[in-house]
Amino acid sequence: MNFLETVFCGVTLKNPVVAASGAYGFGRDYTDFYALEALGGISCKGTTFAPRLGNPPPRIAETAAGILNSVGLQNPGAAHFIEYDLPWLRAQNTVIIANAAGSSVEDYVENVALLAAADVDMIELNISCPNVKEGGVAFGTSCASVEKIVSAVKKVCPKPLMVKLSPNVTNIVPIAQAAEAAGADALSLINTLTGMKIDVAHRRPILHNNTGGLSGAAVLPIAVRMVWEVRRATQLPIMGMGGVTQWQNAAELILAGANAIQMGTAIFADPYAPLKVIYGLAEWVEREGCNNISELSGQVRPW
Ligand SMILES: Cc1cc2nc3c(=O)[nH]c(=O)nc-3n(C[C@H](O)[C@H](O)[C@H](O)COP(=O)(O)O)c2cc1C
């Protein structure tokens, strides 16, 4: 019985556990631990059309139950990714998602056209990065700009287009609906929440960027709430993420309405965390008497 196989907007994932963008780089560092084919998929590091150095250090700060990062989309650019990283990734026998970012509508369109023409399975459109001065989250926080960018990108994207939403909004529902109306094939949520940490002795923010994006265990309840809200407002497949460290957290996102999940920050502390979640989910599905995990998606029973 294949308890975990999941068809996500036409793409078959052998299980619904995907490495989150930014946590796994382009995958190579993790082959010392296990074969990447164990994963349902890999969402690659956010890729821009032109290479980017990212923000100056310090770029990571630990917090009580997660991390703040202000990496700022450091990446080698789409052409380099396609030439040097993608052929290797492709040989890993897992689903490959390109995570596309940009600084203007034209820049996003040019980037997605290039990435979607390459041998990737899906595009994740990052309109929710809080750590870059131009673009990023600015595109993901108003319905008008979400519609503008998603409809422009969709025209050049023959692959499934998954739009990654920001939690840094008062109400995520109209943003999700705007993405759906503009042609998104799927949604992923949540990106990081803007936060700040101060070195009291020096009266200085720890991060050179002053603020950063909070991820890890601390954000799980927010992610679960947002997936639940979005599930009731759209028909689109949802990849839920934010703070998954163990299978029970993934199960919460699935019960709230996610069809698959991603894991990021937890992998830094334990590279094996995704494998433990995969085993835990399979046992959960069997215990619940289901044939497949899809039967549990959205099955929370609200009071
Ligand atoms: C160091 C770091 C880098 C990240 N880079 C990206 C990125 O390039 N593109 C993106 O869409 N999300 C990026 N994210 C956000 C994650 O993909 C994810 O949405 C978020 O961290 C919540 O999941 P988690 O709590 O499991 O980490 C990054 C997160 C971290 C911690």
Of 60, 65, 66, 72, nearest to 207 by C-alpha is 60
> Using a 6 Å cutoff on CB, does residue 241 contact ligand 1?
yes
> Using a 6 Å cutoff on CB, does residue 188 contact ligand 1?
no
pLDDT the model gives residue 136: 67
Distance CA 1, CA 216 (A): 32
Whether 202 maps to a domain, the answer reads no
Distance CA 48, CA 70 (A): 16
pLDDT the model gives residue 138: 75
One DSSP character per residue, 245-261 reads -SHHHHHHHHHHT-SEE
Whether 69 maps to a domain, the answer reads no
Write out pLDDT tens, residues 161-205: 999 999 999 999 999 999 999 999 999 999 999 999 999 999 999
Domain count of the chain?
1
Write out pLDDT tens, residues 51-78: 999 999 999 999 999 999 999 999 999 9
Residues catalogued as catalytic: 129
Question: How many angstroms is it from 11 CA to the middle of ligand 1?
Answer: 22
Whether 19 maps to a domain, the answer reads yes
> Using a 6 Å cutoff on CB, does residue 141 contact ligand 1?
no
Whether 60 maps to a domain, the answer reads no
> Using a 6 Å cutoff on CB, does residue 21 contact ligand 1?
yes
Q: Are 129 and 164 in contact (CB under 8 A)?
A: no
> Using a 6 Å cutoff on CB, does residue 243 contact ligand 1?
yes
Whether 302 maps to a domain, the answer reads no
Of 130, 94, 120, 104, nearest to 48 by C-alpha is 104
Whether 211 maps to a domain, the answer reads no
Counting ligand 1 atoms within 8 A of each CB, the residue from 131, 193, 215, 262 with the most, and so the one to mutate, is: 215
CATH of the domain at 258: 3.20.20.70
Whether 61 maps to a domain, the answer reads no
Whether 145 maps to a domain, the answer reads yes
Q: Which residues of the chain have pLDDT under 50?
A: none
pTM above 0.95, yes or no: yes
Supply the range of the domain harboring residue 111. 6-55+74-194+216-296
Question: How many angstroms is it from 22 CA to the middle of ligand 1?
Answer: 5
